[in-house]
Every structure is written in C-alpha cells, then in structure tokens.
Amino acid sequence: MRTSDRGRLQQVMRMYARYRRAFPGVAEISARAALELTAGGLVVFVDIRDPAEQEVSMLPGAITGEELLADPERFVDRPLVAYCTVGYRSGKFVQRYSDRFSRLQNLEGGILAWL
C-alpha cells in the first residue's frame, strides 16, 4: 500500500471510529476479512447508499438494502455485509435489522476502506 493510500485509509478509519459511537454493539467486519469471505462465494454485499450513488459504483454482485428487505428469506442464512460510503448509514441499517438477519455485519470504513 502506498503511503498516500495508507494515509487516506487512516483518515477514513478515524472518521468511521467517530461515527461508530452512533451504533454501539453492531457486528462489523474489516474490508480484509470481508474480502476473504468472497472466496467462499456465499457472502452477499448489501449497498445501503442512495440510488444516485449506486449508479456511480457498486461492489460486484451487491444487492441494495431494498432488495434484501423485499426477499429476506432468500438471504436469511447467508453472511451479509452492509456498506455505504464510510460506514455510518450501513451501521444504522445493521443496528435496525440485525434482529431479522443474524449474520448481518457492517463493513468498517465503508466502500472507502474497500477501495
């Protein structure tokens, strides 16, 4: 990782640490650990961002939060990783829906930590 990339990631993670206070106790996963889950092919990424943001980019194979909620039985036993830009909106989503999806986790630092 280049020095400039490392500095950017540190800044993102500091921002996420501040946001994290709004959803204490929420299950979360690092970008590295989430990437490792993709090898098994079972993980489902859930994009919590607005449609305009999703039009710009989405992780390959990701679904929207609306898709998850519209067909919850399809995903109930799968590992789910919710993400947004930095992790605030997805953290609130996980906080709200973790009782319905026991394997739902928030991506630490959001898509900016993934890049």
DSSP classification of residue 50: -
Task: Please tell me the total count of domains within the chain.
Answer: 1
- Read off the pLDDT band of 84 (50, 70, 90): very high
Whole-structure pTM value: 0.93
| CATH at residue 66 | 3.40.250.10
Across the beta sheet with 28-29, the strand order is 28-29, 104-107, 80-83, 44-47, 63-64
Percent of the chain with pLDDT strictly greater than 70: 97
- 10: containing domain: 3-114
The string of pLDDT tens digits covering residues 3-33 is 688 899 999 999 999 999 999 999 999 999 9
Closest CA to 15 of 86, 85, 113: 86
